[in-house]
Structure formats: C-alpha cells, structure tokens
Amino acid sequence: MGPRNARRLAAGFAVLALGLTACAEDAGGDSTAEDQSGPIKIGAVLDITGAGATLGVPERKTLEMLAKQVTAAGGIGGRAVELVIEDNQSTEDGAAKAVNKLVSQDKVDLIIGASRTGPSLAMRPIAESAKIPMISLAANAKIVDGSQWVFKTAQNDKVVLEDIVDQAVAKGWKSIALIRDSSGFGEGIGEMLTELGAPQGIKVVRTEKFAPDATDFTAQMVNIRNAKADANLIWGIPPAAGLAQKAYKQLGVTGAVIQSHGIGNQAFLDSAGPSADGLTAPLGRLLVADQLTADDPQKKVIEKFVADYKAAYPGESPSTFAGHAYDAFQLAVTALGQVGTDGQKLRDQLEGVKGFAGVSGVFTMSATDHSGLDKHALAIVTVENGAWKLLDANR
Amino acid sequence: MSDLLQLIFSGLSIGAVYALIAVGFVAIFTVSEVINLAQGEFAALAGLVAISAVGSGMPLPVALVVAIATVTVVAVVMERVTVAPVKRLTTLTSIILTLGVSTVLKALMLLIWGPEGKGLTPFPGGDLLVFGVSIRAQELWILGIAAVVAAAVWWFYERTIVGKALRACSEQPIAARLVGISPKLATMLAFGIAGLVGAIAGVIASPVYFSSWDSGLSLGLKGFVAATLGGLVSIRGALLGGVLLGVLESLVAGYVDTGLRDAVAFVLLIVVLVVRPAGVFGRHAEARV
C-alpha cells in the first residue's frame, strides 16, 4: 500500500468524522407578526435525541398532552395555544440554533427548555438578549444565576447536594468519592460538594468523570474502589447512571452509594436492574406519590398528572423529567392567563410566583431566586426490589 | 495488580467488539476497495433487531439468529442496490455512497426504535471473581464468540475455495478474473461477510454496551481505526488492532484520564497514517499495490 491508499484512508476518516457533526435541519415553521390577539406561541427546545433522550422524550410527551388539554379547554383567555417543539440533539450548538429559530422565525412568546444543563446554558444569552421569558427544565444553578429572563423548574443541584450532605451527617459518612457526568450537568459538583461538606467535616476524596453517553465504567469504578470512601456519589442521568450503578456493584466497590436527582425515571431502574437496590437518592416526590401522606401539598397535583399521563400514553408512567416539563408549562400558562403575552409583564409575573404547588415541589420565586425550590422539594428515596421506596418525606 | 488485570480484561472485551467490526471493513475493502461507512450501523441494527425480537417473546438464541440473518440480508441488499449498479467505483465514491446508506439506516432506526438506548437481555451465566478481577458472564461470551468467529473467518479465507477466491480478487484482481472468479459475486459475498460479523459484534455487545440508533457511529469509527492498524487489508491485523485499541483505551481511561478514552483511537490513527500507512502489522501489503 502506497501513499495513495494512505490518502484514501485519511479521506475515509475525515468523512467518518464529519458524520459526528452531521445533523438534520428542521423544516422552518411559518412566522406570524407579534400581536395580542392571534394564537399564543410557546416554543420548546428539548433533548429529544442523543444523550438526553430519556429526559427529552417524556418532556415532549408531557408538553404535547398539556397543550391538547389547554386547547380542549378553549385556550388561554380565548386565544389558541400553539406549541412549537424543537430537538437540540442533546448538543449546545443545536440548542442555540433551535432557540434562534424560535425567536426570529416563529416569534414565540415564551420558551421552555432545554432538558439538560449544557444546552440550557447555551440558550440563556439568546433568551436574555431577545427579552423573552425562558423556563429551563435542567438542574445546574448557573442557568438562572443572576438571570433576568430565565427561570427553571428542576431542583437546583445545590439543593440536592444539601440533602446529600444532610444524609451524610445523619449516617456519619466523612469521606465521599464522586463519579460524575462530564457535561454541564456534572460541572462544578465536586467543588460545590466540597464547599457544602466542609463545615460538617465531609471531604471529597476522589473525583472521576464519564461522558453522558458512556457505557463502560470499569476504569472509573476501579479508581473509586481504591479511594475507599465512606460513601460514593454517582452524579449522572440514565442510562449512564444506571450502568455506573451496575459497575459499582459488579466491581465490588465498598461504601454506600448515593445517586443524584438525575435518575428519576424507569430507564434508570431498567438499566441498573437489581444493582439499584439499597441506593439513596434525593428525588422528586412524583416517583413515590402513592407513598405520600394525604396532607402533602403536592399529592393532588402529582396524582392528577400521573393519571392524565397514563391516560394519554397507555402503558407508560411519567418520569420526574416529565414533571419538570409539567411545572414549566403550568407556570407559563398560569402567567400567560394572568397578564397575556407582553414579555415584560410575563417575566414579572413569573418572578412573583408564590406557593405554586407543582410536580417537582412548591415554587416560590423571587428576584434573586429564579428556581423557586429549596431542599424540601426533594424526598429521600431508595430502591427496593426494583421499585422506588420513600425513606424520608423531608418536609 | 488486580486493577491492571481488571482494566486489561475490560479492554479485551470491548476490543473484541472493535475487532469484529474491523474484520467487516477489511472483508469489503480487500475485495472491492470500498470503505463501508455503514459498518457500525450493521452492529447497531443487529442489537436493536435482537432487542425487539426478544421483546416479542422469542427465545434469546432464536432472536440472535433472526437479528444476524436480518442484518446480513440488509448488507447484501445494500451492496446490490447502492454499490453494484455503479460502473466506475472509486474509493471516494464508495465513501460517499456508504455514508448515504449509513445516514438512511440511522434515520430508519431512529424512526423505528426511538432515540433511547437499550440493552439486550444478557446471555446466561453468572458473574465471576478471579484473582480479584470481576468478570461479567457477558464479557466471557463476547470473548468466546469473537474468538470463534475470528477462527472461522481465518479458516474461511485460508482453507476454503470460496475464501481463496476472495483473497485472489484482492491480491490479483485481473488474474482472478482470468481464472473465472466474478468480481461482482465476490463483492456481494464480501458485503455478506461484513454484515454477518458486524451483526455478531452488535448482538454480543448490546447487553453490556447498549444499542441505540446512533451507537454505530462510535463503533464504526473505532472499528475503522482498528482496521487501519492492519493497513485495511489484513484480517489478522484488524483483529489484533481491535484488541489493542480496546486495551489501550481502557488503560488510558484508568491511569491517565477517563476523558481521554475516545482520543486514544484518533491519536493512534494519526500516528499510524503518518508513520506506517501500510499498517502496523501489515506484511501482505506489498502484494497489493
């Protein structure tokens, strides 16, 4: 084989690599001039394909179901609701492109999304400069840190870590090894946990990372095993988080295992299988709705949502991610019903939300807190025989 | 020590999967000079078909046969529809053609199976602990099946008349035609073999490494790099290349940084193309040009 073949190989490789970035263009929607009488347009950018698919798909189903409900009820203040959903392919640039299209072509009144932190961060500056309210469904507090126009419905990662530190104090764990998602969702978790744990004498002794679409965790778990920490925190989303849980059991890592709030769906239980038994995770109450006491302020909301979802999609149960989409849509619809589509008024209305009982928690927004949920939004949950079990309602 | 063995073992298992996919690249390239970019999709498709077959109530062995047969047929049909009708096929046109096929296959898989990754039911057997190394039953299946397939491929090319005919096509195309070997038939057969080994790789890997509509891309890339280690013309080189790549990836992830795992393949590729374009293990290479 001579240099000619070498060039062929190089060409083949270049084209293969191109495949990595190749992505489908969405057909452009029709654009209408902004006014106060036509249909209300809600845009959504979700991680429907790629690493975030187990989040984005149920979120899309939820939004579609709720949009139908609103339409069946005669729209918002007599105006029809039009939902425009875009797939960001779980990428930052896909999210930026999609939100640009929603803003400039579709001229939406409000944006929901994205499903994960990275894409949400990519969308934030675009929503801010276009002055369109945006409600993210992702976890990282950076998404709303100091934002004017951006809100979010998933529990902040900081809130989750506070719950984890509380757990560690209660159980007497002093050292924690962290194995985290290397994308935006896991960014800064080690630092934040170190900071929150320090006053309690809790140390992060080892940090390992994995790509959101990773399937082999041997290397990370071998290093985690050697760290011999009291507890190990796996911070990721399914199926990766489930496969990491499996590797944790298979490689015989000692110490307790804690998972994040990123695992709240059936896909986690499916991918982790029996290895999930005995873990601890701060999770939304949706998964344990049947085990909540009757006076829980979220019980009614959650039960209605679960019933509606099961009726709309027979054979499926909603995930906590679907719950984040539910909350975002309901916050949006409530605010739109109160003040209409004027951007500034809508933003102010969202910032003023108080005691709004949703699926992910009871929201109370303020000028400094665009997430609206504190550590009581999460219940402490474990897995027993392949099913979620409430350990502590954490009210 | 047990850490090292653990990392090497897990590298061997993913390496065996890369090796089988690499064999597919080589099988096609030697006969027809086609670089088949849909090779990884064969593996993804086989995994997904097997998952659906098991889901519909078929016993696992039947589901595996169905998946492997389906993908082999897809590979042959692909050759008939896209490669065979082209009169003057160059390597570059083949890349463009097969990239198109790969995109179509991916889109179809996305439509049929949706975006979420799934794992096939693991093959029977319990996990073992040997010298502190935890071994999943599935990993033993992967290694065992890959070894059997590798031996079968070697036997086919070295010992059977059809296999020898295929080798003749790749080493002396004109002489092969003169003695009556049809290059058209040979190309079709090569695609069949590539589909078969790709599908086997896909179904044995699926229980541990999962299958989704887009999992073929990274498998295809790694398989291609492994095949390149053998200069893209040596079955033995491709097998060794796959295993080497898997082990290297695992060691780098364990001892250097997990973020560098996927970089290993590309660094290796660049080094090989610059230093030894004929392949690290290439010995038959001189015969080709």
Q: Domain check: are A161 and A274 in the same one?
A: yes
**pLDDT value at residue A1:** 44
Number of C-beta neighbours around residue A129 at 10 A: 10
Nearest CA in chain A to B224: A13
pLDDT band at B87 (very low <50, low <70, confident <90, very high): confident
State whether A208 and A149 are in the same domain: no
* Closest chain B CA to residue A226: B3
| Cβ within 8 Å, pair B289-A12 | no
- Reported residue count of chain B is 289
What residue of A is the nearest CA neighbor of B283? A1
CATH code at A62? 3.40.50.2300
First-to-last alpha carbon distance for chain A, in angstroms, is 71
Q: What gap in Å lies between CA B43 and CA B149, rounded to an integer?
A: 15
Model confidence at B207, in pLDDT bands (50, 70, 90)?
Answer: very high
Instruction: With H, G, I as helix, E, B as strand and everything else as coil, classify residue A204.
Output: strand
Structural domain span for residue B161: 2-287
E strand or H helix that includes residue A299: helix A299-312
Q: How many whole angstroms separate alpha carbon A160 and alpha carbon B285? A: 58
Instruction: From chain A, pick out residues whose CB is under 8 angstroms from the CB of B224.
Output: 12-13, 16
The alpha carbons of chain A give a radius of gyration, in whole angstroms, of 22
Q: Are residues A126 and A46 in the same domain?
A: yes
User: Nearest CA to A261 among A335, A218, A320, A195?
Assistant: A320
**Do both A231 and A174 map to the same domain?**
yes
Closest by Cα among A101, A381, A85, A106 to A262: A381
User: Is residue A100 located within the same domain as residue A136?
Assistant: yes
Q: For residue B182, what is the domain's CATH number?
A: 1.10.3470
| A48 and A122 housed in the same domain | yes
Cut 0.90: pTM above it: no
Most B CBs within 10 Å, among A9, A25, A224, A228, to test the B interface: A9
For the CA atoms of A338, A342, A346, A348, the dihedral, rounded to the nearest 10 degrees, stands at -110
Rounded to whole angstroms, how far apart are CA atoms A360 and A286?
7
Q: How far is B190 from chain A (nearest CA, A)?
A: 19
Closest by Cα among B200, B202, B209 to B119: B209
Q: Count structural domains, chain B.
A: 1
Q: Cβ(B11)–Cβ(B179) under 8 Å?
A: no
Tell me the CA distances in angstroms from B12 to A26, A33, B16, B24, B40, one per residue in order. 41, 60, 6, 19, 19
**Tokens 């990274």 sit at which residue?**
B218
**Cβ-based contacts under 8 A for chains A and B:** 129
CA A329 to CA A334: how far, in whole Å? 8
Residues of chain A short of pLDDT 70, as ranges, are 1-36
Residue A278 and residue A196 share a domain = yes
CB atoms within 10 A of CB A118: 26
ipTM over 0.85: no
In this structure, the answer to whether residues A122 and A201 fall within a common structural domain is no
A254, A307: one domain: no
Shared-domain flag, residues A162 and A271: yes
Nearest to A220 by CA among B108, B167, B259: B259
When CB atoms are compared, the residue of A1, A3, A267 closest to B233 is A1
Rounded Cα gap, residues B130 and B180, in angstroms: 53
What are the strands, taking DSSP E only, across A102-228?
110-113, 134-136, 150-152, 175-181, 203-210
Pairing of strands A134-136, A362-363: unpaired
Question: What does residue A45 show for φ and ψ, rounded to 5 degrees?
Answer: -115, 115
Q: A21 to chain B: nearest residue by CA?
A: B217
Query: Helix, strand, or coil here: B211?
Result: strand
Smallest Cα distance from B111 to chain A, Å: 11
Smallest CA-to-CA distance from A211 within B288, B253, B48, B113 is with B253
pLDDT at B283: 53
Is position A22 within any domain?
A: no
B7, B217, B273: residue with CB nearest A219:
B7
| B7–A48 CB contact, under 8 Å | no
Report d(CA A165, CA A171) in Å as an integer. Answer: 10
Cβ(B201)–Cβ(B17) under 8 Å? yes
* Beta carbons of A130 and A342 less than 8 angstroms apart: no
Min Cα distance A12 → chain B (Å) is 6
Nearest to B217 among A1, A4, A19 (CB): A19
Same domain, A51 and A140: yes
Chain A residues whose CB is inside 8 A of the B285 CB are 1
Predicted pLDDT of residue B173: 82
Total structural domains in chain A? 2
Q: Is residue A330 part of a domain?
A: yes
In 3-state terms, what secondary structure has residue A388?
A: strand
Question: Which residues from B are below 8 Å from A6, CB to CB?
Answer: 273, 277
- The answer to whether residue A105 sits within a structural domain is yes
pLDDT given at position A172: 93
**Contact assignment for A218 to B250 by CB distance below 8 Å:** yes
Residues with Cβ < 8 Å from A116, sequence gap 6 or more?
A: A47, A51, A52, A55, A90, A138, A183, A184, A185, A212, A237
Q: Which residues of A touch B261 (CB under 8 A)?
A: 211, 219
Q: How far is A122 from chain B (nearest CA, A)?
A: 22
Does the N-terminal peptide bond of residue B115 adopt cis geometry, omega within 30 degrees of 0?
no
Q: Are residues A124 and A51 in the same domain?
A: yes
Match 């654009």 to its residue by tokens: A31
A-chain CB neighbours of B221 within 8 Å are 16-17
| Cβ atoms of residues A222 and A205 within 8 Å | no
Residue A208 included in any domain: yes
Cβ burial A223-250 (10 Å sphere, 16+ → b, else e): bbbebebbbbbbbbbbbbbbbbbbbbbb
Q: Do B129 and A220 touch (CB under 8 A)?
A: no
Euclidean distance between CA atoms A74 and A270, whole angstroms = 39
User: Do B250 and A219 make contact, defined as CB atoms within 8 angstroms?
Assistant: yes
**What is the structure's pLDDT at A214?**
87
Single-letter residue type at B140: L
- State yes or no: cis peptide before B63, omega within 30 of 0: no
Domain, as residue range, for A174: 157-283
* Euclidean distance between CA atoms B8 and B132, whole angstroms: 13
For chain B, the C-alpha Rg in angstroms (whole number) is: 18
